[in-house]
Amino acid sequence: MQHANYPLQVGLPSETQQHADIEIAHSTTVVAVRYRDGVMIAGDRRATAGTAVIYDRAEKVLQIDRHSVLAISGSPAIAYEIARILEHSFQYFRRSQLQELSLEGKLRMLSRLIRDNLAMALQGIGGVIPIFALYDLEAPEAENGGKIFFYDALGAHFENVNFATTGSGSIWIRGVLRYLSRFGETPLQEMDERQATITILRLLDTASEYDAATSGYNARAQIFPTIKTVTRTGVETLSNEDLTESYAEAQPVAEAV
């Protein structure tokens, strides 16, 4: 959370240590952009423990239901548990009430789960700062119903209109997203799926260049970032074939020749 500009200074219930600065591991880069058809959300695949890379195929972008996705940064165990509870809760509501949980209901349920985890977060072992992306089916068909929400450590949620990013690598790309959204030749919200994919691949590549906890594309092992789209028709995961083609287009001209 400190890496996401949430400085924490808390008193610990210890006779030997009354106060301490708590730094919570937040090592990853996840990013969401609102594009022409909805929301595209992505994350790198690296899991770290301190300076050690312990896994290079971690899934950080998790589908919750047909129209919502959670991208996680922070403690994987807590984040996966939050995702499981959300998935089961949405499913239970749908089956018991014969209708989908409202957008506000989904947001509040995730807020409560994050707030309930605050004690663990303050101990430095369970901090989670997610990005929640979904498609609002109540929005008129002519409009883009894609929505992106960012949470703080206490569970308050904020809607980010065009983009959101979190994790240790996010500081390297947040300014680029702002620039592209406001001054880009094709603003993020006007990009088609291929343009948005190439943009996100370049952003994650940039983050991996400056942040050791963010992985790039592993050509030898064919390990790509995870990229999902959330549109009116539902959640889709981009295939390795799609990402291979997009990576080829994403390279600088001098390297592609």
Q: For residue range 192-224, list pLDDT tens digits in order.
A: 999 999 999 999 999 999 999 899 888 788 899
Residues 22/9, Cβ–Cβ less than 8 Å: yes
CA 120, distance to chain mean position in Å, is 21
Q: For residue range 119-150, list pLDDT tens digits in order.
A: 887 777 778 889 999 999 999 988 899 999 99
Measured CA to CA, the distance from residue 22 to residue 135 in angstroms comes to 35
Q: From the candidates 16, 28, 48, 229, which is the catalytic residue?
A: 28
Instruction: Give CA separation, 233 vs 134, 141, 143, 158, in Å.
Output: 12, 11, 14, 25
In terms of pLDDT, which residue wins out, 233 or 54? 233
- Please name the helix (run of DSSP H) or strand (run of DSSP E) that holds residue 17, with its range, or none: none
Mean pLDDT of the chain: 86
Dihedral sign (CA 221, 222, 225, 228): negative
**Contacts (Cβ under 8 Å, ≥6 apart) of 172:** 206, 207, 209, 210, 211
Measured CA to CA, the distance from residue 192 to residue 177 in angstroms comes to 16
| C-alpha neighbours within 13 Å on the C-beta side of residue 121 | 23
Query: In terms of DSSP bridges, do strands 47-49 and 52-55 run parallel, antiparallel, or are they unpaired?
Result: antiparallel
Q: For residue range 2-29, list pLDDT tens digits in order.
A: 444 444 444 444 443 444 454 555 678 9
Residue 16 appears among annotated catalytic residues? no
What is the CA angle 236-90-224, rounded to 5?
30
pLDDT of residue 16: 39
pTM: 0.85
